[in-house]
Each structure stands twice: as C-alpha cells, then as structure tokens.
Amino acid sequence: MKNSRDIDILERIIKYCDEIDDANTQFGKSLEVLKTNSVYKNAVAMCVLQIGELTTYLSEELKKEYDKMPWRDIKDMRNIAAHRYGSFDSEILWDTMEGDIPSLKEYCEKILKDINKEEDEDNNG
C-alpha cells in the first residue's frame, strides 16, 4: 500500500486546483480581471502557494516514481508566491493557472487512479 500521507496530499492538491477553477468561474477567467482584481489574484495565488507547499510533503518515493511532473519547479513557484506575494506577476500567475494547474490536476488524478488500481490488485490477489 502506498503512503496514505501521499494520498491525502494528492487529494488536497486536486482540491486547490478545483478552487482555482471555482475562482475562474466566479471572476470570469480573464487576464485583465486577474490584473485588476486583487481578490481574484489573491485567491489564485494562495492556491498556487498551498499547492507548492503540499508538494514538499510528498514522499521522495512517489516523486521518483511519478517523475513526469516538475515537483521542484512547483515548490519554486510556491516560494515566489510566498516571498513576492504582493507583487506577484499577474501574467506568470495566469500562465501557471492556464498551463500548469490543469496538467498538475490531471497528473495527480492519474497517480491516485494508479494507487487505487494497485491496491485493488493487492486485495484481489
């Protein structure tokens, strides 16, 4: 059985990806709005920060087995969000939200699916 902590972390990462989707729905998913609406920008930036923080707690075993995601870069983005929070570049945030978050969510869902399949196979002999 895989580390239950990894499962919890992956589920929480997916939850933050969903919260970014919710913010996009609420604010209209617009770069212009992201640039001018601090509530929208802060909501997305906080989710990115939390996702980056969570990746630091994934086991090294999982990160080595599932190495198609740049886990280190995700952590680095967290550091940028944390240390430059008030001046976080809207376009970088937009690119992250548009390009990276959907891929991350999909990859985390794949990992969870693999883990569930592995557990089912272990339980069924």
Query: 1: which 2 tokens?
Result: 């059985």
Contacts (Cβ under 8 Å, ≥6 apart) of 37: 27
For residue 56, the SS3 value is: coil
Contacts (Cβ under 8 Å, ≥6 apart) of 109: 14
- 122 pLDDT tier (thresholds 50, 70, 90): confident
Q: Write down the mean pLDDT value for the chain.
A: 90
Q: What are phi and psi of 3, to 5 degrees?
A: -60, 120
Contacts (Cβ under 8 Å, ≥6 apart) of 78: 48, 49, 50, 51, 52, 53, 55, 56
Check residues 107 and 86 and name the one with the higher pLDDT: 107
Contacts (Cβ under 8 Å, ≥6 apart) of 29: none
DSSP-derived letter for residue 84 is: S
pLDDT, one tens digit per residue, over 76-88 is 887 777 766 566 7
| Full set of structural domains in the chain with CATH | 4-118 (1.20.120)
pTM of the predicted protein model: 0.89
